[in-house]
Structure 1
Amino acid sequence: MPTIHASKALSRFRVLDLSRVRAGPTCVRMLADFGADVIRVEPPQGVDPNEAMFAADRLGGDFQNLNRNKRSLTLNLKKPEGLVVFQRLVRDADVVVENWRPDVKARLGVDYESLRAINPRIILASISGFGQQGPYAWRPGFDQIVQGMGGLMSVTGLPGQGPVRAGLAVADSSAGLYAALGIFIALLERETSGEGQWVHTSLLHTMIAMMDFQAARYLNEGDVPTQAGNDHPTSAPMGLFSASDGLFNLGASGEGNWQRLCKLLERPDWLQDPDFSDEKLRVKHRERLNEQIQRVFSSRTVAHWVDTLNGAGVPAGPVYSVPEMFEDAQVRHLGVVKTVEASTGATRRVVTQPVRLERTAADVLRGAPGWGEHTAEILGEIGYSSDDIRMLRAMEVV
């Protein structure tokens, strides 16, 4: 059966996905959605004591969303025969992605130097918790641990309430996206040099990079970021306000938006108030400013203010629950959700790629694979006969 590619954009590339849980699969999902032939290499059932963390619920929404458009090959890399199979796959592959602790790949013989000896064009993408070297390199990395160490929890939440984790896996997901970016760069560079290279990132470094302006404020101005709740730490008026029937976000930062807001709300006195004469002063006197704005907003509905503010060129938007988010007209227009069929025939809904290419668009053609669903198919592609495959199964290699 010919391999099904979700897009023509990356259809010439083969990716071996050794990754687990979230960061690695997030990286590889992007490659798969843009058409790469992704082979999810996972141990046979019962080999990994932690398999329930990353592969048990094959029809679960999270697994389906992370692993759509991939094929599955079961392979026990702890057995010499399994490593031989993997090495044969590496000969014609372009990318290997893994998110093990740094010592694991060396112990199994799938470190960069070992792979490069087989295929000098191979790109190994490694995602770790804390980096490939250094005092914490051996530590396992989990998203919440890194949210704490990377500073995010110190700036999340209401002032004085103590550290708060973000409501999504920021470190995992962003590390996966940074790794995908590194892979794209390495593939482009390979067109000139003809050689692959080792690409690696860590959840910790990525989390600090995602701190962005908060980190830069401290490094250059010595301004230690703290919790600002629903207010923006450096802009005002920008935050959460109450209408007569609910909450909405206002983003009137910058002089242009500030002037448009004052005009719309018929408050020229705010423009004359010396406490509000520039952005820094509006931040300094945010409490008084917000109180005055809130008194105006309390009189009308969220829908009124969102429409009126945006109509005047002042950014504003409702605060949705997840179900409300998916019902929004613009979300529906963007095609954010697609229904796909899993290997069992069951249908699942997944979130599509937010990056749009007009000529070679990403797509989601199939759900995540069953455990080892494509093992015989993939082994046949690299020269194993039916008898060979039966023998490998009998030896519990696949």
Structure 2
Amino acid sequence: MALALDGITVVDISQGVPGPLCSTMLGDLGAEVIKLEPPDGDWLRTVGPFSETESDLFIRLNRNKKGVCVNLKEPAGQAIVRRLARATDVFIEGYTTGVAERLGLSYAELSAHNRGLIYCAISGYGSQGPLARTPATELDLQAFVGKFRQLGTPDEPPLRVGFDIISVNAAWAACQGILAALYSRESSGEGQRVETSLLDAAVAIMQWTTAAESNPDEWRARPLSGYTEAPDHGFACKDAHFLMDWGNRNDAWQILCTTLGAPQLGTDPRFNEWFKRLNSKAELAEALKPFLASWSFDDLQQLVQGMGGTIVRMNTAETLFHSPQVEALDMLKELEHPVAGTYTTIDVPWLCSEPLARLSPVPAPSLGQHTVQVLGGLGYAADQISQLVTAGVVVGSS
């Protein structure tokens, strides 16, 4: 059976995480993806850790792509991209607002020669507003939207989220917008410009904050000073750290305390109501600490689940990836890279009854690996390609 995007071509001139992750997802849906990089390469190539000389993150976010290296500071390089865009379905750029226009690669310019083009722009702060032309990074946006203030405790210095959560969400947002535009094109015959930004992606996951802002003095009895919930460091027993929850059932809380040998905590005025426990998590964990110390996680799991609650071990990456549940989902796959060797990556996170996507085993390209092949497909003669290589317009074997 054909994959969902078989026959669709994507040209991606973005770097880093959002655009490349988006185009990798489109590639797993069956699209042919051509990745364009500057002569010094996508900056993600320089981000460790490394296997041999290859960035472990780059090879995971750039599978299943043809690699073309073009100097977009040169008019001849810009002409190559415009030529590519005439025959592609999807074009992805990740510039700060205004840069694509200066390069002659705006939606207006490219769509004038390809009315069915889906053009996706992923910027930092969006195309409107006082910060539209301000460059932005993942850390900038985590700080801007207050993510630094939603970790740790109020008396600690700000903490960043430990991975690029906003960039990843921007990739999903861009992919969703592109798929919607492709679906619309089926009936209209017309392409369109799809726009998202790191700021859009960050605000989109803040519904809990909008709920808190609607009545900040009553949000779970905690004024909105940066937290929608109290920080939760979980609990410790003799062989694990874990989280447990029994919702707003005060009766279950009292049963738990009695079973643990601490019936006085069940009626303690600091903890006898759900919202009090919710907003006193550190104090609660300290109060339970001596009573949990002799319990194994397996015994606690049986107790808490028997009361209708939930209890989850706090995994490390190693214990997570080797857990029976993750193994049952078959999410981790081993692929081969010609330089980095065997590496583990993550499969497409959804299943259809008939396969519409697959994890492509084609490794991430080396810098300019397919330049000659792609330019030849555009009609450039061998001597023209050699001249472009000599002039520094493209990188690739002539």
TM-score after normalising by structure 1: 0.85
Residues 190, 219 of structure 1: alpha-carbon distance in 2 compared, 3 angstrom cutoff: farther
1:288 Cα offset (Å) = 6.6
Selected match of 1:249 from 243, 251, 255: 243
Deviations 1:232-277 (CA, angstroms, capped at 9, x unpaired): 8179xx760111123111132244xx65565566569888888767
Displacement after TM superposition at 1:19 (Å): 0.8
Segment of structure 1 superposing worse, 267-276 or 287-296:
267-276
Question: Matched residue of 2:98: which SS?
Answer: helix
Q: Distance in 1 between matches of 2:331 and 2:207?
A: 27
The corresponding residue for 2:387 is 391
Asked whether the equivalents of residues 249 and 319 of structure 1 are also in contact (C-alpha less than 8 Å), the reply is: yes
- Tell me which residue corresponds to 1:54: 44
Distance change >3 Å, CA 345–CA 281, structure 1 → 2: closer
- The superposition leaves residues 152-210 of structure 1 with CA deviations (integer Å, 9 ceiling, x where unpaired) of 11111123113211111112111111111111111112222221111111212321222
CA deviation profile, 1:109-165 (whole Å, cap 9, x unmatched): 111111110111111111111111221112111111111110111111123113211
Percent identity, please: 31
Cα separation, partners in 2 of 1:373 and 1:103, compared to 1, 3 Å? same
Q: Secondary structure at the match of 1:356?
A: coil
Q: How does 1:193-204 map to 2 (within 5 A)?
A: 193-204=188-199
Q: Tell me the CA shift for residue 16 of structure 1.
A: 0.6
Cα drift, residue 95 of structure 1: 0.9
Q: Equivalents in 2 of 1:82, 1:380: separation in Å? A: 15
- The 1:276/1:303 distance shift into structure 2, 3 A limit, reads same
- The code of the aligned residue for 1:53 comes to W
CA contact (8 A) 2:44 2:57 kept: no
Which range moved further: 288-297 or 244-253? 288-297
Q: Which residue of 2 aligns with 1:44?
A: 39
Give the stretch that moved more between structures: 180-189 or 73-82: 73-82
Q: What CA distance in whole angstroms lies between the structure 2 residues aligned with 1:203 and 1:68? A: 23
| Equivalences for residues 1-398 of structure 1 within 5 A | 8-45=3-40, 51=41, 53-56=43-46, 59-221=54-216, 223=219, 224-226=223-225, 233=229, 240-255=234-249, 263=255, 279-283=274-278, 290=285, 293-306=288-301, 308-310=303-305, 313-344=308-339, 346-360=341-355, 361-398=357-394
Aligned-residue offset at 1:318: 1.3
Residue 48 of structure 1 is matched in structure 2 by none
Question: SS of the counterpart of 2:115?
Answer: coil
Q: Structure 2 vs 1, CA of residues 226 and 307 (structure 1 numbering), >3 Å: closer, same or farther?
A: farther
Residues 242 and 66 from structure 1, CA distance in 2 versus in 1: closer, same or farther, beyond 3 angstroms? Answer: same
* Residues 272/346 of structure 1: CA separation in 2 closer, same or farther (3 Å cut): closer
SS of the residue 1:208 aligns to: helix
Cα drift, residue 387 of structure 1:
3.2
> In the TM superposition, what is the alpha-carbon distance from 1:54 to its structure 2 partner?
2.4
Q: What secondary structure, in the 3-state scheme, does the structure 2 residue paired with 1:134 have?
A: coil
Count of residue pairs brought into register by the alignment: 381
RMSD: 2.9
What is the letter of the counterpart of residue 247 of structure 2? S
Partner secondary structure for residue 55 of structure 1 = helix
Decide whether the 8 Å contact of 1:239 with 1:251 is kept in 2.
Answer: no
Distance 2:281 2:165 in 1: 28
Contact 1:44 1:75 in 2 (8 A): yes
CA contact (8 A) 1:356 1:362 kept: no
Q: SS where residue 83 of structure 2 aligns?
A: helix
1:89 partner letter: L
Query: Normalization by structure 2: what TM-score?
Result: 0.85
1:325-348: per-residue Cα shift (whole Å, max 9, x none)? 222222222223222122447322
Structure 1: gaps of 5 or more residues: 46-50
Amino acid at match of 1:353: V
